[in-house]
Amino acid sequence: MRAFRNDLEVYRDGYPDVKDDVTLRLNLDFYMGRIVCVPDHMHIDAVHQKWFGCNELLEYGHSYIQWLFPIQEQGLNYRAHPLQKGELDYFLGHLDDLVPQNHFPALPARRRRHIDSDEDDDAAPSASAGQAGDSAAPSVPEPNTTTTLRERFVRSYALMMDFYGFRLCDNATGRVTKKDNHAWEIDNLQHSSHNYLRITRILKFLGELKWTAFQHSMLEAFEHEIYSTKALSNCRDSYERFWIGTIKDNVARGVIQARIDAYPPPPPSRWGSWPASTSSTDTAAATSTTAAAVETGPQDNDVDARRARMEANRAKANGQLVEGTKQEDEGKK
């Protein structure tokens, strides 16, 4: 846990030990529309226009997030470079400069459906083709039009917030509201924890841009779903340990922390925690608890219970294998 805290402290201090490499400008070139992201080979405008609402692509793709939200840390996609200080300085100084915007046709409606849809692939596209729920995809620009870096950053933010179940309401502050058709997105975020790392990256990127209003809007939306509706209760640990820490201002961060401290503590785990002692009595109690968990058939979304069941099944399979080997040896005799 200390390593993660140090990571946030380094980020809040502006990565003082990270040196700028003037030969690396891939993030700037990508957002300027000069190059494609790899390995997806998509221009920035194509990502915004074609992937908006494509939940299956956003959920199972793991190489685009480093391009959309570069930070001064190396991500899992080694073909995407960390954000360089020179690139960040350019972003901050040229947010409203006009840059060319390209036209890319939207994906067919059947490619934009949720992954759990029962809709027939051959069904005729509806009048709302190109939309996901009640969130319309960004308007397709005319060929040879222009945009700004600020608008592209906002579209990246809107793309991911839509994927998490929220609709962007204010381009200036990043304020979002929950979409009318949000069930799949909220449930996916509740149970797909790799998105929590993505959210940390997004918040850090917003902090690098000094878009504190966007950070607060994002955190407020998640806070409501974590502590009030509890629809995103699984996000609570990441929210408290990492997401709040992306706010660089100590006073503002303290205000959020004080508000969070006022909420009741989370309920104890259904299966309890690991025993603090390794005495024979505690070990026997832990074994009994594990056996009871396997006996009662725990919920699939309970990690500890699933692990206990897997271990029990593995032990059972190993026992059957040993028993079968003994019988085979007896037969040979």
How far, in Å, CA of 159 to CA of 302, rounded? 30
Whether omega for the bond prior to residue 39 falls within 30 degrees of 0, making it cis, is: yes
Q: Which of 67-81, 97-111, 310-324 shows the lowest mean pLDDT across its residues? A: 310-324
Alpha helix (H) ranges present in 32-108?
A: 44-51, 55-60, 65-68, 85-93
How far, in Å, CA of 327 to CA of 333, rounded? 10
Residue 37 scores a pLDDT above 50: yes
Q: What is the pLDDT of residue 43?
A: 95
Residue 331 scores a pLDDT above 80: no
Q: What is the pLDDT of residue 266?
A: 86
How far is the CA of 271 from the CAs of 212, 285, 299, 303, 306, in angstroms?
Answer: 39, 12, 11, 10, 11
Listed by start position, the domains of the chain span 2-114+134-261, 283-332
Q: Which of 115-119, 134-138, 242-246, 323-327 shows the lowest mean pLDDT across its residues? A: 115-119
Q: Give pLDDT tens digits for 311-327.
A: 665 565 555 444 544 55
The DSSP bridge partners found for residue 42 are 37
How far, in Å, CA of 54 to CA of 159, rounded? 10
Q: Give pLDDT tens digits for 195-208.
A: 999 999 999 999 99
Q: Give pLDDT tens digits for 205-220.
A: 999 999 999 999 999 9
Q: What is the pLDDT of residue 307?
A: 56
What stretches of the chain adopt beta strand conformation (E)?
98-101, 131-132, 135-136, 145-148, 166-168, 176-178
pTM greater than the 0.85 cutoff: no
Residue 83 scores a pLDDT above 70: yes
Q: In which band, very low, low, confident or very high, does the pLDDT at 309 lie, cut at 50, 70 and 90?
A: low
Show the CA angle centred on residue 40, arms to residues 200 and 134, nearest 5°: 65
Q: What is the pLDDT of residue 102?
A: 80
In 3D space, the residue among 72, 92, 75, 94 whose CA is nearest the CA of residue 83 turns out to be 72
Q: What is the pLDDT of residue 182?
A: 95
Q: Give pLDDT tens digits for 39-52.
A: 999 999 999 999 99
Q: What is the pLDDT of residue 145?
A: 81
Task: Name the average pLDDT for the chain.
Answer: 80
Q: Which of 135-139, 170-174, 226-230, 258-262 shows the lowest mean pLDDT across its residues? A: 135-139
Residue 182 or 312, more confident: 182
Q: What is the pLDDT of residue 104?
A: 73
DSSP 72: S
How far, in Å, CA of 38 to CA of 215, rounded? 27
How far, in Å, CA of 208 to CA of 264, rounded? 32
Residue 79 scores a pLDDT above 90: yes
